[in-house]
Amino acid sequence: MLIDSHCHLDFPELSADEAGVLARAKGAGVGGMLSIGTRLDQFDRVRAIAERHGNVWCSVGVHPHEAKEEGQRSPARLIEAAQHAKVIGIGETGLDFYYDHSPREEQAESFRAHIAAARETGLPLIVHTRNADAETGSILEEEYRKGPFPGLIHCFSSGADLARRALSLGMYISISGIVTFKAADDLRAIVRDIPLERILVETDAPYLAPVPKRGKTNEPAFIAHTAAKVAELKRIDVSELEAATTANFFRLFTKAEQSECG
């Protein structure tokens, strides 16, 4: 069984065929999915999908792209939303200095509020980072000194130093279809060195479809291709990779019930 640890089932590319997406995922051996919140004003839609399906969970958060409009200065709203039984993570949050859709100071402020929510609730922090390795690592370390919190770097495409810094804080690293891309040799080298007990897999659907599905709308069923590549890099059987990443998911996302998978 595989778990898609990060997808966006509420995005129109997937929500238009919700039943089909979930059926294809089940057929591909995907037992559960974590659908990620990116805006608070759209969170009800994210939560509703999770409520309709036993093997779908959700997170609550504000993507760094949205920090200008919805950035959180306090963890209060996140903590309140996290009381719902289906909310098992905080985020996605973090820093994106590639697009800079929101001012960097507002991204950082919101990031810290999400960390406070993760610390308060005990739910894992889901971190997005792009072109901000040093700053992301520094904020995580500064905040961790104030009090520990669980978390992961999602859709990892950063350098080896951020991987090292995150792992040293006890965080997990989630690998997406990027690992199958032709130009991703640096990422593949890092994945080889990440301890198996700290790896998760994800689609980030509807984005980043893996080889051989490049150019198509990504969906949870396609996670099998990413898992196969990670298993190849780790020189283990796919079944061992599936078992490890599923165990890792439930070890990190302790609020999720494995009995709900199907």
Binding residues: 6, 8, 92, 128, 154, 204
DSSP string, the chain: -EEEEEE-TTSHHHHTTHHHHHHHHHHTTEEEEEEPP--GGGHHHHHHHHHH-TTEEEEE---GGGHHHH--SSSHHHHHHTTSTTEEEEEEEEEETTT--S-HHHHHHHHHHHHHHHHHH-PPEEEEEES-HHHHHHHHHHHHHHS---EEE-S--S-HHHHHHHHHTT-EEEE-GGGGSTT-HHHHHHHHHS-GGGEEE---TTS-PPTTSTTSPP-GGGHHHHHHHHHHHHTS-HHHHHHHHHHHHHHH-TTS-GGG--
Detail the residues annotated as belonging to a binding site for a divalent metal cation.
Answer: 6, 8, 92, 128, 154, 204
